[in-house]
Structure 1
Amino acid sequence: MSKETFVFTSSTLRSLRLQREMLEWEDRRRAAYRQSASRRYQPVSRSLLSLPSPTRRPQYCRDPAVHNALYTGDLARVRSIFKDEATANLIVETLSEELVWSAELGLWVLTPQKKHTSPLCITAARGYRDCVKHLLLQGAEVDAVVGGKAALHYSCANHRAECTRLLLSYSANPNIISEEGLAPLHLCTSQETLPYLLLEYGALVNQNTRDRRASPLHVAAKHGLDDHVKLYLCYGANIGHRNREGETALNAACASADRPEEAGRYYRVVKRLLESGADVQVAGRKNHTPLHNACSNCHFRIVELLLQHGAEVNVSNCAGYTPVDCAVQAVEDYLEGEPERMLKFCALSPRTMEVILNSYDRILSCDSWVESVSPEVWQEHQVFYDSALGLVNQPRTLQHLARCAVRKQLGTRCHQGIAQLKLPSSLHDYLHLPFEGYLK
């Protein structure tokens, strides 16, 4: 093998392919944006007295010493370098090697990539308030979009409160749009970000992203930010707004609640949205309702909350699956989140219960669902329910443990992988968790 080459794993190749697709999509989007912007520009005849002053030709800086002064926040050196409007508006250019897909060569190659930013963007992103103030006093353009974003985008995304307040006090536009179509509010994606500063200075709470048509409320709900959601609702956020895929903020919150350690955050967001009048029946991407999303994440508390607010349990998504179907399909991926606590919602269906309980290598407890079974149903399916109770905290058979190990190893490729195993048809059926009417 040549020393200049190295082996790509399948996951690396998949990531590189996705990156190539994203780069191609981004190139097309930016080209369309530039073309649209050029169409919107219409020259206006002016008298000689009102002719604008000649546009200043941009100056590029590639000096590592200047870069170092900005990135380290060296105020003394910044003051000595940036002494006027021309230097304060320099375009800082950096060069880095990136893997880029070459259609001509048919492979990924390391290609030098130029990146542009401004002194104001660099210092605002890192919270160097004194450097930001000096640049502004020297005439730095507060709303200049260099390299795709303005200084306010960077200070908000990196939750630099002092720099954000300073930029706004120097008349920074709180609704300025980046090349990606994002306003500063859309970059408030963590608990530490400070949307209240932007709102105080006139940020539009219902401004949407250009491509996905997502509002700040969508962004806050997607990231489980209850304080942000509360603030936006107080400022009049449209709780019923649907993005380009037809999803509301409630859909976004339920779909994103996929980590057990963050369950409490998303529960509070969903609770607040429902109490504020969010429609629990709205279906978004792939015709998923909030209940479909919550069941797909095995988030039993959100499921219970949605049901209390009238969520429809029998509605089907575009693939014909009900919320219970989504829960059954996802149960193996969320064993740490105690999905067995969702069993009380399907305890009256022994067939569903059998599939779910057989997804475990042991049955820890039946307390979460046993009381939900009516005496009539218990009597009709007594063999199954008695077998389930009899296995609580008892070892399962070696055959069942082997089945659990094989299914866990196959993961999301379970059904496809089982068909490729060279096993007798009876074992194929056994791995697919067939209905037997009892547990063993």
Structure 2
Amino acid sequence: MAHESFAFSPSALRSLRLQRELLERDERRRALARGSAERRLPPGTPPSPPRRRQVCRDPAVHNALYAGDLRRVQSIFRDEATANVVLETVSEELVWSPEQGLWVLSPRRQHTSALRIAAARGYEDCARHLLLRGAAVDAVVGGRAPLHDSAAAPHPNCARLLLAFGADPNVLSADGSAPLHLCTAPHSLRCAELLLAHGAQVNLGTRDRQVTALHVAARQGLVAHVELYLHHGADPSVRTHQGETPLNAAAAAAERPEDSERFLRVAERLLEAGAEPGAAGRKGHTPLHNACANGHPAMARLLLRHGADATVPNGAGDTPMDCALRAVREYRQQRPEETLTLLLDHGALPAHPKMLRLCCQHPPALEVMLNAYDRVPPTEGWVEAVPPELWEEHQEFYASAVRMAGQPRRLQHLARVAIRRHLGARCCAAVPRLALPPPLRRYLQLPIEGLIS
């Protein structure tokens, strides 16, 4: 509480003092009880095993906690034993029975604690009462500790209370996650700040996969969380067991067009912090592979500007160009022709003619690809895949592509192809600086004209 910036009122100070005195009195009582029990034991007697926790299945007790009824909670949980009781619920779920060859209802038991319920629902007064009655602040019941639930909810008021009572900010759940890994929503930022202020390890990975909080924030597109973690020393180059960096996670998760802007900002922050733009993750995918597969031209432009390789293959042998072509049909509203032009400007080779089938239903993308060849490839591989209504809508373009198939292109186009091949990956930077009239410079950049000539 020394980190808080507000002044305590006299009543708040008195309440804190009374709470401290009550805790000290309870601790002295437990110490005296332990000492008395030890004195009654004969010398050399081994300590008795810890008592098994009691299990409560009473719906009335559950309802009092889930409703946040402080008076009933106070009347039920009066001492350490009741405050640490295990609450069990039983629900029926469908499971496959191989013996019977059908789906059957099977009871499923779930365990939790009173403190977990209060923390998960933001019942600060109930949580405080349970803690004052001796509830174990770090007890992992049913797979989680109370701090996990308050961070996941999120409820910063309960997180602050638990931390004030000594909760471990790095306590691990049954699946090996720390509370910081569960800050997955934009409004969990305050919980993340509290955890870090009380000693949470920002680079701590989950037990099995070694996913850090920065991976989680990047995968969720949480710009403020990413900035917070980087400010506290998060490593942007740390890898999971599958080899993925936070930048891989951000590029792979940017699937929906409406989320593209925030994932772009996450990628910008990571690259500014030193993230490797070409780090290959799961299945050899680089961030550029993922950006192209998700139809995200702004992300692709950012990665290429920071040095991503437009020609590197992934584990299956696919280049970013292959990924971009496969995404044309799904992301045709996201101007996939921009991504194709970007890749060509950074040294990517034209795709194999068989790949033209993937972009033939989006004329601007098909035009960019056809203009990357010095001679239009045969049309048999893609022309039959164009729907009749689309052909009718863009008849002039498709007719020109079919007419020029296998025919020599204009000298102007051949010069364009030769210059671009000579410049290779330098096209993007060199073409705008060439001492040429603006129309010629624009022609070298593969503009969309609606015709193949």
Considering the TM-score relative to the shorter chain, is it more than 0.5? yes
3-state SS of paired residue (1:332): coil
Matched, 1:75 2:74: no
Displacement after TM superposition at 1:159 (Å): 1.0
Alignment partner of 1:88 out of 76, 83, 106: 83
Alignment partner of 2:221 out of 218, 221, 224: 224
Residue-by-residue CA offset, 1:396-434 (whole Å, 9 max, x unaligned): 986154999xxxxxxxxxxxxxxxxxxxxxxxxxxxx9x
Match of 2:38 in 1: none
Residue-by-residue CA offset, 1:158-195 (whole Å, 9 max, x unaligned): 01010000000000010000001100011111111121
Equivalent residue runs for 1:42-191 within 5 Å: 48=43, 52=47, 54-191=49-186
After TM superposition, the structure 1 stretch with the greater mean CA deviation from structure 2, 228-237 or 343-352, is 343-352
Structure 2: distance between partners of 1:378 and 1:242: 37
Structure 1 pair 217/145, CA: closer, same or farther in 2 (3 Å)? Answer: same
Structure 1: distance between partners of 2:231 and 2:64: 42
Match of 1:241 in 2: 238
Match of 2:196 in 1: 199
Residue-by-residue CA offset, 1:275-303 (whole Å, 9 max, x unaligned): 11111121111111111111111111010
Structure 1 pair 139/52, CA: closer, same or farther in 2 (3 Å)? Answer: farther
Structure 2 residue ranges without an equivalent (≥5): 1-41, 379-384, 394-401, 407-450
User: For the Cα contact (< 8 Å) 2:375–2:405, is it kept in 1?
Assistant: no
User: For the Cα contact (< 8 Å) 2:169–2:199, is it kept in 1?
Assistant: yes
Alignment partner of 1:358 out of 357, 360, 379: 360
Identity in percent: 52
Alignment partner of 1:322 out of 305, 319, 322: 319
Structure 2: distance between partners of 1:134 and 1:57: 23
Letter in 2 for 1:121: R
Letter in 2 for 1:60: V
Structure 1 pair 364/293, CA: closer, same or farther in 2 (3 Å)? Answer: closer
Letter in 2 for 1:235: H
Match of 1:280 in 2: 277
Matched, 1:331 2:320: no
Letter in 2 for 1:399: P
Match of 1:254 in 2: 251
Displacement after TM superposition at 1:239 (Å): 1.6
Displacement after TM superposition at 1:96 (Å): 0.3
Matched, 1:399 2:388: yes
Structure 2: distance between partners of 1:351 and 1:163: 59
Structure 1: distance between partners of 2:318 and 2:377: 28
Aligned residues: 347
Displacement after TM superposition at 1:106 (Å): 3.4
User: For the Cα contact (< 8 Å) 2:95–2:106, is it kept in 1?
Assistant: yes
Letter in 1 for 2:327: A
Structure 1 pair 56/337, CA: closer, same or farther in 2 (3 Å)? Answer: farther
User: For the Cα contact (< 8 Å) 2:360–2:366, is it kept in 1?
Assistant: no
Displacement after TM superposition at 1:336 (Å): 4.0
Match of 1:25 in 2: none
After TM superposition, the structure 1 stretch with the greater mean CA deviation from structure 2, 181-190 or 343-352, is 343-352
Letter in 2 for 1:290: P
Match of 2:339 in 1: 342
User: For the Cα contact (< 8 Å) 1:350–1:381, is it kept in 2?
Assistant: no
Structure 1: distance between partners of 2:315 and 2:293: 14
Structure 2: distance between partners of 1:90 and 1:196: 31
3-state SS of paired residue (1:333): coil
User: For the Cα contact (< 8 Å) 2:73–2:126, is it kept in 1?
Assistant: yes
Displacement after TM superposition at 1:381 (Å): 6.0
Structure 1 pair 176/89, CA: closer, same or farther in 2 (3 Å)? Answer: same
Residue-by-residue CA offset, 1:128-172 (whole Å, 9 max, x unaligned): 000000100111000111000000000000010100000000000
Structure 2: distance between partners of 1:83 and 1:276: 51
3-state SS of paired residue (2:52): coil
Match of 1:309 in 2: 306
Structure 1: distance between partners of 2:163 and 2:146: 10
Residue-by-residue CA offset, 1:205-227 (whole Å, 9 max, x unaligned): 11111111111111111111111
Equivalent residue runs for 1:290-309 within 5 Å: 290-309=287-306
Structure 1: distance between partners of 2:121 and 2:225: 23
Structure 2: distance between partners of 1:115 and 1:398: 54
Letter in 1 for 2:330: D
Match of 1:268 in 2: 265
Structure 1: distance between partners of 2:267 and 2:275: 9
Structure 2: distance between partners of 1:50 and 1:402: 91
Letter in 2 for 1:265: R
3-state SS of paired residue (1:331): coil
Residue-by-residue CA offset, 1:323-360 (whole Å, 9 max, x unaligned): 01001112222234343432422567597796565233
3-state SS of paired residue (2:187): coil
Displacement after TM superposition at 1:90 (Å): 1.0
Displacement after TM superposition at 1:304 (Å): 0.1
Residue-by-residue CA offset, 1:343-379 (whole Å, 9 max, x unaligned): 422567597796565233x76999xx79xx9xxx699
Structure 1: distance between partners of 2:351 and 2:134: 73
Structure 1 pair 231/397, CA: closer, same or farther in 2 (3 Å)? Answer: closer
3-state SS of paired residue (1:99): strand
Structure 1 residue ranges without an equivalent (≥5): 1-46, 385-395, 405-432
Structure 1 pair 403/224, CA: closer, same or farther in 2 (3 Å)? Answer: farther
Residue-by-residue CA offset, 1:100-137 (whole Å, 9 max, x unaligned): 23233333221011110000001100000000001001
Larger CA Rg, structure 1 vs 2: 2
Letter in 1 for 2:89: T
Structure 2: distance between partners of 1:161 and 1:122: 15
Structure 1: distance between partners of 2:377 and 2:48: 89
